[in-house]
Structure 1
Amino acid sequence: MIGATFFRRATLEFLTYPTVSIRALSSSQPCLGRYGHRLIKLWEQKDYTTDPLKVWRTGGRLPAGPEKTPGLKWTAKLGGGLDREFYWVQHRRLSKDDVSNGRLFFEKILKMQPDDNRSGYIALVAGPELRRWVLATTEMKEGALIKNSAKPEVGVFIGKSGDAFPLKLIPQGTQVCSVEFLPGAGSKLARSAGNYAIVIRKGENNVVLQLPSGREVSVHPDCVAVVGQVSNVEHDDEIWGCAQKSRDYGIRPRSGKWHRKDGRHGRKIHPAKPMVVYTEAQLLKDKKALED
């Protein structure tokens, strides 16, 4: 409980691996879980940058500082691993004002590369305002243009892989990724390698998406999504082959004690979970884990 109390008070950005995410925790947010042994000090970075940022090691323990308990073990299964660099990926392709004003602009893909802290590839794009890193889709190529459009199109929908639109402009049956829960909040859904969602039906005040697991999610029509599938689809087929590979990724060895499999490991075919509706910010505090 000491660690949970600390994380409710702290205002930090944390990075975990292998399920990498950046968390901003404040006094208004509950403790969402235990985080790993790698720390990105984004609060010290005043302006956005495309340069790689330093990744600090904590060895699974809390860092020292004011209102912190230095050395308190937070996770025992993560620690060590190879050095890595962190690239600041922007998950908001269109802001809430862009959607309201029907803005349209293009960005050129300058470079694509793997990321040490994410399963999918990332792309460096240049637009009318700035350069930024975004998540890459399977069909994005260097030198091509991607479109960010909130302007209604007349006639047939024209959108290729990598283009970002509000869900209200995307037709049913389209495969999308990097989906927002709330308008202008940045993508939270379908961000890992090979992940996607399908637009299955649309209403006046909501759009229903189906995840690969079969679960349905209802979000606001102004939420922005990217057409296509997240890159590096072959990520799940990678075979580590030895224990050293786990150590390279910062995963500490298991205890080695034999454990009988129970219901946590499957063995049953469960029906699809009920649809999740995201209409208010308050609901996000009570949400359960979805496919990232």
Structure 2
Amino acid sequence: MLQPRVALRGLQLPFRCLSSISSRAPYLRSYSTEVQQPEKPQQETPPPAEESSTTFDPSIAFAPPPTRDEAGVQLRTYKPRTPGVRHLRRPINDHLWKGRPVHKLTFPKKGQSRGGRNSSGRVTVRHRGGGHKRRIRIVDFERKAPGPHVVERIEHDPGRTAHIALVRSQETGKLSYILAADGMRAGDVVQSYMSGIPEDLWKSMGGVVDPGVLAARTAWRGNCLPLHMIPVGTLIFNVGLYPGKGGKLCRSAGTFATVIAKGGETPQKDITTMGPEFTTAADGTEKTEEARPLTQREKQKIERAANHVTIRLQSGEVRLIHKDCCATIGVASNPNYQYTQIGKAGRSRWLGIRPTVRGVAMNAMDHPHGGGRGKSKGNVDPKSPWGLPAKSGYKTRPKWKVNKAVVVPRPRNQGKRRRGYN
């Protein structure tokens, strides 16, 4: 129903009653329309990884951040033939694969885990259940396989908001799924350097690590590198938390982090031993203090700075990540997902999302806010369904600041006047 109609211009119809349709074919309108925006100059595609070009263009190598201006967002709208289509908005992703996924790289999602239950069958996540039958795609977050990989196609993954790319190794021919970067298309060549620098790249640098040449040859969009090989200021996604493990951070659609500092770029006084210092006394004379050995805390600080890389997340949080953790150059694909409008409640049920009911609309046995006559919480503080305070910073304050309420039993008839007593 949501597909555009097939134009009937030029078709020879054998039925006389359908001859009028062909005459009106130029005036037929499709179900879906695209919001056209001013065209922006397209960036050139980076050369394949196997070429030995040493030219470095930051506009090509590093993926730019996604646009945050709604005027530049392209969404597909639909003709309101039904109420559920009137407010439907979808990002335009015409480059996605229209067929099924590779069957051997998927497994079915079934069982009680689809309904938000744990191993004992109890509901641990509310508002989950139902939904369309789906298969889980096996995504390679570690990217340990070396060598160039050719992107076969870009696919939609129903289990995540970002797109995935089907890549084939040029050396072994093995297929695998990886997280697609924004701007990645079929035919691109990506490579992983988690197992080390290739031999041909060593020879091109003369057997010595040249940071400029190394960045120009490796820091391309979609390549997976250790954090210590990524230049400062690069946008990355699919960032790992532990060496040898897969990516954990910035895996959702349109997310990215920024490398702001590396261990070798810390101030010199922080990474060397404490040498002689010059101080000025009250009378104006300068005194020299002798060098002292480093304390255990200072040694740990120096070692931590040398073995970690500082990154900034989109939330503004600054984190120290080990230099051997993996990261992918670029921005996670499908950045316009945040502007999606599903249009109707039934589409949420297809996604496995059940309705959310307000507490004041429940009975007293189902929620602390339930019961009573009319819209009333029963003169109680906002609480969760399990009786925990829901506001006033209860969840955001540190535990040592939370004052646990001590319930003291009140003596019988205290504070009440009984008949016959003053």
Please give the range of the TM-score, normalised by the shorter of the 2 chains. Answer: 0.5 to 0.7
Q: Do residues 108 (structure 1) and 121 (structure 2) align? A: no
Structure 2 residue aligned with 1:146 = 190
1:261-276 mapped onto 2 (5 Å cutoff): 262=391
Q: 3-state SS of the aligned residue for 2:336?
A: helix
Equivalent of 2:220 in 156, 160, 165? 160
Counterpart amino acid of residue 251 in structure 1: I
Separation of aligned partners in 2, 1:62 and 1:211: 32
Structure 1 residue aligned with 2:128 = 78
How far is 1:222 from its partner? 1.1
How far is 1:74 from its partner? 3.3
Q: Do residues 93 (structure 1) and 148 (structure 2) align? A: no
* RMSD over aligned Cα atoms: 2.8
Q: 3-state SS of the aligned residue for 1:245?
A: helix
Counterpart amino acid of residue 164 in structure 1: C
Distance 1:218 1:60, change over 3 A: same
Q: What's the TM-score once normalised by structure 2's chain length?
A: 0.45
Distance 1:176 1:116, change over 3 A: same
Separation of aligned partners in 2, 1:263 and 1:90: 42
Structure 1 residue aligned with 2:343 = 241
Pick the structure with more helix per residue.
2
Separation of aligned partners in 1, 2:134 and 2:329: 30
Distance 1:206 1:231, change over 3 A: same
How far is 1:75 from its partner? 3.1
Q: 3-state SS of the aligned residue for 2:337?
A: helix
Q: 3-state SS of the aligned residue for 1:53?
A: strand
Structure 2 residue aligned with 1:19 = none
Counterpart amino acid of residue 235 in structure 1: Y
Counterpart amino acid of residue 79 in structure 1: G
How far is 1:61 from its partner? 5.8
The size of the alignment, in residue pairs, is 207
Distance 1:61 1:228, change over 3 A: closer
Separation of aligned partners in 1, 2:116 and 2:338: 29
Distance 1:110 1:73, change over 3 A: same
How far is 1:239 from its partner? 1.1
Q: 3-state SS of the aligned residue for 1:86?
A: strand
How far is 1:60 from its partner? 2.5
Q: 3-state SS of the aligned residue for 1:117?
A: coil
Q: Deviations over 1:207-255 (max 9, x none)?
A: 0000001101111111111000000001111112322122111111111
How far is 1:140 from its partner? 1.1
Query: For the Cα contact (< 8 Å) 1:139–1:162, is it kept in 2?
Result: no
How far is 1:257 from its partner? 4.3
Counterpart amino acid of residue 117 in structure 1: G
Q: Do residues 51 (structure 1) and 105 (structure 2) align? A: yes
How far is 1:141 from its partner? 1.1
Q: Do residues 229 (structure 1) and 296 (structure 2) align? A: no
How far is 1:73 from its partner? 3.1
Structure 2 residue aligned with 1:279 = none
Equivalent of 1:194 in 250, 254, 258? 254
Query: For the Cα contact (< 8 Å) 1:50–1:131, is it kept in 2?
Result: no
Distance 1:232 1:61, change over 3 A: closer
Query: For the Cα contact (< 8 Å) 1:50–1:133, is it kept in 2?
Result: no
Equivalent of 2:115 in 45, 60, 71? 60
Query: For the Cα contact (< 8 Å) 2:151–2:168, is it kept in 1?
Result: yes
How far is 1:72 from its partner? 3.2
Separation of aligned partners in 2, 1:57 and 1:240: 26
Identity %: 31
Separation of aligned partners in 1, 2:104 and 2:392: 44
1:211-222 mapped onto 2 (5 Å cutoff): 211-222=313-324
Separation of aligned partners in 2, 1:61 and 1:146: 37
Separation of aligned partners in 1, 2:333 and 2:148: 20
Structure 2 residue aligned with 1:118 = 160
Q: Which runs of 5 or more residues in structure 1 are unaligned?
A: 1-47, 96-103, 265-292
Structure 2 residue aligned with 1:131 = 175
Counterpart amino acid of residue 122 in structure 1: I
After superposing the two structures, state which structure 1 stretch, 154-163 or 140-149, moved more.
154-163
Distance 1:160 1:135, change over 3 A: same
Separation of aligned partners in 1, 2:351 and 2:155: 18
Pick the structure with more strand per residue.
1
Q: Which runs of 5 or more residues in structure 2 are unaligned?
A: 1-101, 203-208, 264-305, 361-368, 370-381, 383-389, 394-422
How far is 1:94 from its partner? 2.6
Query: For the Cα contact (< 8 Å) 1:94–1:224, is it kept in 2?
Result: no
Separation of aligned partners in 1, 2:122 and 2:115: 9
Separation of aligned partners in 2, 1:92 and 1:188: 10
Structure 1 residue aligned with 2:405 = none
Separation of aligned partners in 1, 2:313 and 2:250: 8
Separation of aligned partners in 1, 2:322 and 2:105: 34
